[in-house]
Amino acid sequence: MEARNLTFRILRYNPETPDVKPYLQDFQLVEEPGMTLFIVLNKLREEQDPSLRFDFVCRASICGSCGMLINGKPNLACKTLTKTLPDVTTLMPLPVFKLLGDLSVDTGVWFRDVSLRTEAWIHTDEVFQPDVPEGKMDNELAQKIYEAERCIECGCCIGGCATANIKPNFIGAAGVNRVARFMMDPRDKRTEQEYFEVVGSEDGVFGCVGLMACDDNCPVGIPLRSQLAYVRRQMALAGWHMSRNKK
Amino acid sequence: MSEYPLSVTDVLIIGAGLAGERAAIEAASQGLNVTILSLVPPRRSHSSAAQGGMQAALGNTAMGRGDSPDIHFADTVKGSDWGCDQDVARMFVEMAPVAVREAAHWGVPWTRVSTEKRIYDGEEIHEDPEKVGLITARNFGGTAKWRTCYTADGTGHALLYTTDSMVLKLGVTVHDRVEALSLIHDGERCYGAVARCLRTGNLRAYAARTTVIATGGYGRLYGVSTNAVINEGTGMAIALETGKVPLGNMEAVQFHPTGLVPSGILITEGARGDGGHLLDKNGYRFMPDYEPKKKELASRDVVSRRMIQHMRRGYGVDSPYGQHLWLDIRHLGAKHIETNLREIASICRKFRGIDPVHELIPVRPTQHYSMGGVRVNKYGQAYGLQNLFALGEAACWDLHGFNRLGGNSLAETIVSGKIVGEQIAEYTKDVSLDIRSTLIDRHVQDQADRIQKLRDRRDGTEDVFRLRHEMEEILREHVFVFRSAEPLAEAVRQLHALHERTSDIRLRGRGLGADPELSAALRLPGMVKLAYCIAKGALARTESRGSHFREDFPKRDDENWLKRTLAYWSSERNEPVLDYEPVVITESPPGDRGYGEATSGPASKK
């Protein structure tokens, strides 16, 4: 069979030339067996335009660096095989995050900010005892925590989220999932009121309008829909407890 | 002198993977001001890719019963082919269980001992009910006991996110998308680093009482590697370029038999462990011919050697990405593949569009780990420059000698982070911050000049990407799984020439701002220097030890080679200069590794 000639329509923007408005540029390439967008973009940069900017780190869908809009849908470029794509493919950077150039966006800064705002670490007064065996934990619980911990912060859920696209401080599904992870961890001693302060707001779990694109787009298949429901339920309870205590 | 931002900190850590972050936590908890530089957001670091787990002799499981640091020590030293520093191995094995428990205290969801029914090798495992809920362990090659602690299939990810959460909690400063270009030093002491912002391309200076290199390995020198694309050895290169700091054992490079073609993504040993076969272009299972006893399950280095041998004889499969062989797991059946080998199936589908239930998997030996690195003493202090430390894969501490055991790399990151981090903290308290601003100016100016020259050079003839591919080819062709005098000498000749050609690079673009071509051009000369050190060290080492296999010297030679290579880069001679130091044997005298017949040389020349 004749190898396909592929066209990649890529958004170009160089911060060095801010006067030049972002535009779409077409690149052509012959398809090879087993070709992924990781291979495509590197080939384009090495053979056609050395200034092309994009991010890859692990190229094995583990690190979350290469989230982008592939024909309008957020996904990881590294695991996207060209044989699943039409002859013409549009590549755009993820929205919401700050654009650094071409397909490269500043997801790291966004996620770090959300981690800081939600205080995404174990809160405890217990001091580590090096000579004492570890505290026991039921394996099912450990696996449940890991289910939420698996988020690779690629930003696909955020890029596809209508709320995150219009509300700059919304922590999105990734942020809520992160909070869920600590909420179910008995090592974190935060009370429900303390969690309420972190996510019980319009920027937190109550900002979600339930369109669920996050759940559709998550490339590692985290059950974001149930994580959102879990945190929402916990916060509803916390609100109810707080209002009762006021009376 | 042009203007540049200057940051002053107590401890400057270059690299935000597990080793760097764990050391940062140690220093920050002791009240020191810590700044971390990272090429990428910290949670993107290559540490996140480690799936298997980390070794620590907790002995909680039935299959790990009776395990102890002593047994972990013996495994590690044997694995290293007696090339490791036994003082370091001893400290490491004693601290590993503490480091695992500490990580649990910080929030790592380690997989726990449970009484869920499990069959292994036809026998049912009965866990001790007393131990249920403690951290469990899985089996790994080269270990006498089940010792590898893990979090499902995402150990590195879970450890990195937890460690990074402690970095956040402690308020450690992290500058991401920043690349260190050189160390600021006066030939005796290190004072920090000159770095380039990868958002804007602007230069910055960091002045520090102590500087720490934790930039990971150099797998990308080989082009095809299981490593992330950021593992380009930059930390080692800037240490080497001081002319003072030697790199240890750079020729000690580990290869994994089954990297997926073309991406190099790892297909784990589990595939062969569960009964997968290696086939050649005729669909013939060749391993039994070479290793009648162990077949596909001989040790990593042995299988890699046999695969290359077979391809050399003309049995490789041609592809647009070069020759490869097949891994066949079809006979294991859909049910087994979808349950026990789920990860492998998912990698094959995602990254090659192959269904391993019905199709063959293209594989070939692939660069996997760098045992060599910035030579440091057991406290993590670099040789040759005061106030400089290194740890993790970037360092030659030297825990792994000539072959690293699975599960010991992830363990090294957090254990050395804890041990060396404490040394860094103690040491830094006694160092005064006496830095001359003219010294900083000069080092920034040197880098500014380099950049300007690259932008201005319109008469250059070399393309950075082409040179890079040539370097990768040279290493893959001549300094790979099999080594011998003639190809290695050829590699040295070619790398010498290639290094000279790097001064002739001409950018195709304008190289403004954070231009990726400019970044590549700034990085390449250092990478070629590292490649040169690997090739020259391998040519000089006329023996086989661990992953370093010389066809012309197939035996280990303890009489002459129980020593560590130190490679220096002499700017006057424009080539690396080799020196050696003895490997100190404290507890375990060199003996037989007992990994099968091929570890002491080719079983039979066919």
Q: What is the pLDDT of residues B222-251, one digit of tens each?
A: 998 999 999 999 999 999 999 999 999 999
| pLDDT exceeds 70 at position B133 | yes
**H-helix or E-strand spanning residue B253:** strand B253-260
Look at residue B273 in the predicted model and tell me its pLDDT.
Answer: 75
Q: What is the ipTM of this complex?
A: 0.97
Q: What is the pLDDT of residues B547-560, one digit of tens each?
A: 999 999 999 999 99
All residues of chain A having their beta carbon less than 8 Å from the beta carbon of residue B106 are 121-122
- Cβ–Cβ under 8 Å, residues B282 and B385: no
Angle of helix B516-540 versus helix B437-456 axis, rounded to 10: 100
Q: Is A113 on the interface with B (CB under 8 A)?
A: no
Indicate the pLDDT class of residue B601, thresholds 50, 70 and 90.
very low
User: What would you report as the CA-atom Rg of chain B, rounded to the nearest whole angstrom?
Assistant: 24
- Cβ–Cβ under 8 Å, residues B304 and B403: no
Q: What is the pLDDT of residues A46-67, one digit of tens each?
A: 999 999 999 999 999 999 999 9
Look at residue B226 in the predicted model and tell me its pLDDT.
Answer: 95
Contact (CB<8Å) B109/A145: yes
Q: Which residue of B has its CA nearest to A53?
A: B516
Q: What is the pLDDT of residues A195-212, one digit of tens each?
A: 998 899 999 999 999 999
Look at residue B1 in the predicted model and tell me its pLDDT.
Answer: 53
Dist. CA B501–CA B496, nearest whole Å: 9
The alpha carbon of residue B114 is apart from the nearest alpha carbon of chain A, in Å, by 6
Active-site residue numbers of B? 256, 272
Number of neighbours of residue B203 by Cβ within 10 angstroms:
20
E strands, B392-512, are: 395-396
The alpha carbon of residue B511 is apart from the nearest alpha carbon of chain A, in Å, by 8
Look at residue B597 in the predicted model and tell me its pLDDT.
Answer: 41
Chain A, 10 to 29: residues with Cβ < 8 Å from chain B are 14-16
Look at residue B66 in the predicted model and tell me its pLDDT.
Answer: 96
Q: What is the pLDDT of residues A131-174, one digit of tens each?
A: 999 999 999 999 999 999 999 999 999 999 999 999 999 999 99
Q: What is the pLDDT of residues A95-129, one digit of tens each?
A: 999 999 999 999 999 999 999 999 999 999 999 99
Residues B79-102: b if buried by 16+ CB within 10 A, e if exposed? bbbbbbbbebbbbbbbbbbbbbbb
Dist. CA A245–CA B326, nearest whole Å: 67
Q: What is the pLDDT of residues B443-501, one digit of tens each?
A: 999 999 999 999 998 889 999 999 999 999 999 999 999 999 999 999 999 999 999 99
Q: Which of A28-32, A59-63, B576-580, B595-599 is the least confident region?
A: B595-599
Alpha helix segments (H runs only) across B311-407: 334-339, 342-352
% chain B with pLDDT above 70: 98
Nearest to B161 among A49, A100, A149 (CB): A149
Q: Which residue of B has its CA nearest to A37?
A: B351
C-alpha distances in Å from residue B276, one per residue of B229, B279, B280, B341: 29, 10, 13, 11
Q: What is the pLDDT of residues B164-214, one digit of tens each?
A: 999 999 999 999 999 999 999 999 999 999 999 999 999 999 999 999 999
Taking the complete model, does pTM exceed 0.90, yes or no? Answer: yes
Structure tokens at B226: 């299981």
Q: Is A31 on the interface with B (CB under 8 A)?
A: no
Contact (CB<8Å) A133/B41: no
Interface test with B, best of A30, A51, A179 (most B CBs within 10 A): A51
